[in-house]
Amino acid sequence: MAGKLRISFTNTSGNSFVDDVRLTVLPLPPRPKLSGALTGNSLTLSWGLEAEGFHLYGASNLVPTVEWIQETVSLQTNMQGITATLPIGPGYRFFRLISP
The b-or-e profile of 61-85 (16+ CB within 10 A means b, else e) is eeeeeeeeeeeeeeeeeeeebbbbe
Closest CA to 29 of 12, 9, 4, 57: 4
- What pLDDT is stored for residue 57 in this prediction? 96
Q: Can you give the pTM of this predicted structure?
A: 0.70
Mean pLDDT of the chain: 86
Does domain 30-98 correspond to CATH entry 2.60.290?
Answer: no
Question: Could you give the C-alpha distances from 73 to 4, 68, 85, 89, in angstroms and in order?
Answer: 30, 15, 7, 15
Quick one: pLDDT band at residue 1, thresholds 50, 70, 90?
Answer: very low
- State the sign of the Cα–Cα–Cα–Cα dihedral 36, 39, 42, 44: negative
Bridge partners (DSSP) listed for residue 55: 98
